[in-house]
Structure 1
Amino acid sequence: MNTERRHELESNALAHGITTWSDKLRPYVSVILAVTAGLLVLFIVMSFWNKYQADRNAEAWQELELALFEGDGEARSLQRLADSEEYQGTEMQEWAYMSWADRQLRLASELYLRDREEAKKRLSSIEGIYEQFADNASSSELRNRARLGLARVSEMQGDLAEAKAQYALVDGALAVLAAERVKQLEAKPAAGTIEWLATVEIPKRTPPTGPGVPGARPGFEATPPAADAQSGLNFDSTQSLEQILGGIQAAEDGAKRYDEGADKPADPSSPSVSPAPTGEAPAVETTPAAQSPAEESIPGEAGAPAAEKPAE
């Protein structure tokens, strides 16, 4: 069989196969087109959804970074992010909860000797968060960090056995730190110190009182002045400061008006009234005017006694 004949037979077999499969798939063409269109729409929707999730996660991590570097000692921004419905279900929210719990643990350790009750309250509020993430966190890093936090809470509460058990469950990058802490707790000085801290009573510091206390606002209210016996001013304590000042101004204006009337000269056209004579006027004693230094007598002048000439 030559080559041309063989090629012709192969072409006929291929055409026959295509025709056969076309006939078999013709009833399902509409279904195939519908499935293809559905897959295309699903691909487009998933692309938009992935982009939305990526943008949402990026925004969430940025908000977490800003909250971590905020100067609020109570970490209110972290708590707001952890409870936010806008970022519900994101991995950032788990880290916000964990960061807030770690911050409260640090504050409790600082308050433990100054305010034992407040420190215990903070420890109770974060213990449940650590327990939840130790079992159900989305990543092993969060679970290990939660176990480490639980161990520290138990340690501050004086439960050394529970603290060692939680430290033993920590693995990964924090396992070395947990093992080192277990060795420290097994030593007698550390155990004695923890037992002492759990029972010692530290006297509370008495807060300062009086003016100038930090956080106290000075009084800006204006009080009416008291009565002044020397000046004759008497103030009504029920009046406001504006009423008192207005009354003083009105009194000063009235006094000035009477003073101006007394200083005004009399009208020349009005008759003058002279006092009636009462007998002889008393004699007025005149006194010689005092001589000025220029009128004093100078030796050698007329009217002045001449100086005696010494005998020869």
Structure 2
Amino acid sequence: MSDIDPDKDQLSPYRSFSVTEWARLRKNTPLPLSEEELTELRGMNERVSLDEVAQVYLPLSRLLSFYVASIQQLNEGTQQFMGTNTKQVPFIIGIAGSVAVGKSTVARVLQTLLARWPEHPKVDLISTDGFLYPTAELEKRKLMHRKGFPESFDRAALIDFLTAVKSGRGALQAPIYSHRLYDRIENEFIEVDQPDILIVEGLNVLQSGKMRLGESQIFISDYFDFSIYIDADLDVLRQWYVKRFLNLRSTVFSQPDAYFKDYAKLGESEAIETANRIWRTINQVNLHENIEPTKYRAKLILHKGPTHAIDAVHLRKL
């Protein structure tokens, strides 16, 4: 269960909701999503249902629409104050959480729902995986064993990209990452052209980092108008990672050009042992050192139970 105690809600910076309580905030908003569309949005091992979309994601899309409208109104008022008439800048949502927690599915479902609100029909989505240093650069820096840790990302390039987005620039390109190649895809990009909303999902997007005395630094999260942390218990995350590894072993890893094609040759027990070792020595360390400590920087925490279903929602008090 979540480590936020609902019984101490008065003393917490968050207000906690059960799924039933949260679902009431939908306020008769129609569900603009079919089962066929949801099937396309689900990630590997994900079991998100239309009922969960209606109970959790639809109220969340309604809340986010309020935030977007508020920021748009503030921008209009500011422009009137300054006597300017520039294009409104995108509202940016950051989504963080562990490997295998289901960030990508949450991001895709939210993207689809938010784009169907008439006030902000253009919603783009990028993953910070595309801003990992290329494999050749990671090998040069001796960081392959730290892939996914903060130092393995081209943070300067990501900051430059988000600066351009918030400056209102159009025709931007975000790199695309391939889990098959375990690297960026050369000459392939996601086009980001002045969307109403940009969703940025990744492991370390809420991290503030460490600064030396007198040092001035900009963080990725400084660009976010709203932030979400996807949470789950440690052993549950490990189980999900192992299951995902086994699925990749029989699908992506079995392709001839896959970076981890040797893993496809592993037997069941050896594959489970390998997945647990990778989780214990890499992903769990990254989670404890860099990802989980950022949880309470999020404006919203979605806690998942063992079945991948969200069982609690924690919203930061204004």
- So what's the TM-score if we normalise by structure 1? 0.22
**Rg bigger for which structure?**
1
Give the structure with the higher percent strand: 2
Give the structure with the higher percent helix: 1
Whose RCO is larger (CA < 8 A, sep 6+)? 2
